[in-house]
Structure formats: structure tokens, C-alpha cells
Amino acid sequence: MAFGDNLVAVGGISLLEAYLLQRTVFADETFYTLCWWAFGSNFAVLTLYSAIIWPFFLKSPAPPAYSTGKSDESSSTPHEGALPLIWMKTIPNDGLIHLRDRISYSLLIPTNHQALLDIMSTNTYDFEKPRRARDFLARILGFGLILSEGAAHKKQRKALTPAFNIKNIRAMYTLMWDKTNQCLEEMEKELKANPMEGTNPADGVGKLEMGVWGSRLTLDIIGPVAMGRDFRSLQNSENKVAESFLRILEPTKEKMAFLALNFVFPQWFTQRIPWRLNKVVAEETGFLRSLCNDIVREKREALESSKASAQDLEADILGTMMLGGDFSDTELVDQMLTFLAAGHETTASALTWTCYLLTQYPDVQQRLRDEIRQHIPSAEAQITHADLESLPLLNGVCQEVLRLYPTVPATVRESIRDTMVAGKRVPKGTRLIICPYAINRAPIFWGDNGEEFIPERWIDTDKNGNLVPNNHGGASTNFAQITFLHGQRSCIGKDFARAELRCAVAGVVGRFAFEMQDPTQEIHIAGAVTTKPVEGMNLAMRRVEGW
């Protein structure tokens, strides 16, 4: 069966051949009969192929009862990762779950070590993000490291890797800790200005929305790190950069519908729809791109006029790229957009979910506060990477949050050539859903308590009886946690994100005790690019004296 140039050949005859026969041999009535026969035959063969040959050739089980529907069990967590987790628990498989929707469109979900290894490491460049999803996300992120593919990705990765070596990451702790302290001071001001209703004023309990503060903190960290620009959004609640990202990424039902539309239809079509969000995205991304363009131009001028030394330029990612790679200004702007968005929204989301879990486990919150205060005398004290990386419970809490609430719960790949996954042939054009939310909780890796918040799984006891952090959480493979993916397409800033999260959590928990403003509030996960609580993370906080 061949498709192309309006030829549809079945049983040795195509519609073009039928037309030529009509012109030379058959009468009109015979020709139309032949056309209908050819069309019907094509449809029957296509249906047979889609419904039987394709799915059963792969020999992967499909969940027939609810392949594209909602099950009762998933209704309380309506997001991308809930159903795949249910399927991984209930459907026998040998590395791939074959998912078919009501029109027999096929998707594959990898479920074991070998399948994940093949997709993310062995055959990484056999898979790419679907073009329509990339084109839309590029409006926000630019065609930087996250959205580039093939040779372009290899070039960008090679140029950026030096900026993210462990030595450079550890040198950034001073900046991260300083910004965390600035955040704590500004949070205290808001708490005093917004006392919690129904509490004794002497208790000093105030209220704030943690997601906003997390975003402002991480933006003020990534600005100097990525491009040498301090946005000072912590001191300015009306900061235009922070507002732009908030308007684009704040989770709403309208944004979810808008996102789905852009993933289904090409950009030339969706950008012409008279939808308010098209204007919002155009205006905000236009501002952010203009800002990045000005910063790139200023740094380029400094380099060309020799006013900046190599050491000065290497102080941030933009300078490193200018010195270490052959990038046009447009490519540099795309990279800055990528790092601004991904470099601050991901950690801000993780900090938000950390605070949420610590409200649900107040005993862990208290033990963590005790550990922080025991090893760090005050928030103003100078710290090194060793001070935070050595704290077992701090690292256990951060690792467990990243495991349970990956900032990107699911991502899609498409095979660009015939390839192999878990011993099975995967034809070109096959879509796969890589689901960190489900993998990170799957019983095959984490046992029956994989969905429970247990920071102790990341803590070992050394030969002297001391508690020390571990990096495996008790799982038998590092593919049991794919929050940052693995292999050549893994998150280049994963160590940076972990360091940033350690600093932020240590500061917030060391300084404040907190709980939900409304303990009965139900939290739902959503997000346009990263996962956030739809209702916001509204906390009642009190400064704990002595630190």
C-alpha cells in the first residue's frame, strides 16, 4: 500500500490507473463503479492495517476499556500522569503499553528500564518532539536547547556543557543563598502586611501565595546566571519580566484548551484565530524576546570593543556561549528565552510543591527545621555547597519532591526513523509518551509505597552510624526517577536546579513555620509548561525566632 502524489494502490490498481482506463476503455458508469471499488478497497485495507496488523505486529497490550477516557480512580488527579500510572499498575506488559484511541491512533508508553534506556540513551536521536508542539513552545521558549533536535542539539549541548559542570554549579551557591535571604526579608514584609484572619496579632501569622514568591526568587537567580542581568523582581512586585511569565504560564482552563489547540493544529492556523490568548502570548513573548535581544547586543558590543575580558564573559551562560560556540544573535536570544523560562519556572514549581508536602507532614517540617538550624547558625551566615549537600533530611525532602512532583509530568516523542524499543520494532512516525509522573511512582521501581512521601528512602547510614544522603532512593536503576530525563537529552541544568532548590528550601523552612490557609482546600495539578497548583499555594506562615 503506497500513499503519495494522489496515488492509492490496492490490489495492483490505483485511482490514476483507473482514470486512464476510463479514458480508453470503460464507459462513464463503469468508471465510477471502479472508482468506488478502489476507494472501498483502500478503506477496508487501511482499517484492517490500523485495527489489526499495526497493533498486533508490535505485540504490546492495549488498555481497551479506557484507552482515552477517564477512570474513576483518576478523577481526583486530572493531569497527564494519572492514567499512565494506573495502566502501569494494572496492565501486564514487557516494557511498552500500546495505547489506541477510538479511531485506532497508536501511542506507546515505556514502562521499564530497557524501554527507557533505548528511548533516552541508546537511540536518543531516533526520537524528536512532534513538530507542532515544538513550533508552539518555541513561541515561548525559542528554539533553544530544549526544542532543538539532531545536529543543532548536539552543537548547542557541547557549547553549553562547560557552564554546568559541578565546579561552576558549586560556585553559584553564594549567589543562590544571597538571593534566598533577600526573598526571606521580602516575604516577612508581606506577612506583616497581610495578617491571617482569626489569629492573635501577637502570633505574627501572615498569609502569602508561595508560587509567586518562588517564581520571583528563581527569576532573580537565573537572571545573573544566564545573562548577567539582575531583574530584582524580589524588590519589585510589579516587575515586568515576572509579570510576563505569570501571564503566559499561570495555569487556567483556558490556557489548557489553548495549549491543546496549538498541539493539534499548525501555527499558521492557530495564530490567526481571534483568541485573546494569541494576543497575550504575542505581546509577552515579544517583550521577553526584545529584552533578551538588547542584552545579547550589549554583551556582543562589549566583546567586540574588548571592554570585557574572557573571565568577565564566562561569568554567565550567555558569555560562555559567545566564547565557546559559533552562534548568531538570534540563536543566542533563543537560548536566553529557554533558560529564563525553564531555569526559573521549574525550580519555582518544585519549591511550591515542597511547601505543600511539608504542610501535609508537619513532623517532617519540624525535623527539617531542626536539622537546618543545627548545621547553619543563621540565614545570614555564609554557606558552602558542602553545608547543604551534606544534610540528609534536606536532600531527602528535595529528592522526594522532585520524584513525586516532576515539573513536566509527561512529554511526547515521535520516531523519525524505524527503530527498536525494548526488543520491539517501532516504525517511523510512532508517538511515545514518556511519563515522569508515572515512572517516578511506579511499583516496578518503587514498590507498593511509591506514591508515598518518604524522604528517608534517600538517606543511608554509613559505617560509623551517621546518616548520609544517597542518590538512588532505594531504586535499582537511575531510570526509576526521570524528572530530568537521562542521556543526551537530559536536563543540562539538573544539578543547578537541585542546588537552587536546596538553598530555597533551607531558607524558607529554617526561617518560617507554615501550614495551608485552608486545611480543607483540595489542590489540583495543572500547568501550561510546568506543573502548578491551580488554586495557588496559599500558606499561613509565622517566623520562628532564633534564626
Length, in residues, of the chain: 547
The interaxial angle of helices 494-511 and 210-227, nearest 10 deg, is 140
Distance CA 489, CA 341 (A): 18
Distance CA 524, CA 76 (A): 8
CA distances from 487 to 152, 260, 493 (A): 16, 28, 13
Residue 447: all three cell numbers together: 514498590
Lookup result for grid cell 554509613: 462
Neighbours of 440 (CB within 10 A): 26
CA distances from 50 to 45, 54, 104, 106, 477 (A): 9, 6, 6, 9, 35
Per DSSP, which regions of 470-516 are E strands? Answer: 512-516
CA atoms within 13 A on the CB side of 4: 2
527: left (phi over 0), alpha (psi -120 to 50) or beta: left
b/e per residue, 261-294, with b = 16+ CB within 10 A? Answer: ebbeeeeeebbeeeeebbeebeebbeebbebbbe
Angle at the Cα of 392 from the Cα atoms of 370 and 502, rounded to 5 degrees: 80
> Is residue 413 helix, strand or coil?
strand
CA distances from 238 to 178, 223, 246, 354 (A): 21, 17, 11, 26
Cα of first residue to Cα of last residue in the chain, in angstroms, is 73
Q: Has 491 been labeled as part of a binding site?
A: yes
Q: Measured on CA atoms in the order 347, 351, 356, 360, is the torsion positive or negative?
A: positive
Q: Measured on CA atoms in the order 103, 109, 115, 120, is the torsion positive or negative?
A: positive
Q: Measured on CA atoms in the order 343, 225, 331, 289, is the torsion positive or negative?
A: positive
Whether 285 contacts 139, CB under 8 Å = yes
Instruction: Could you list the residues known to form a binding site for heme, using ranges.
Output: 491
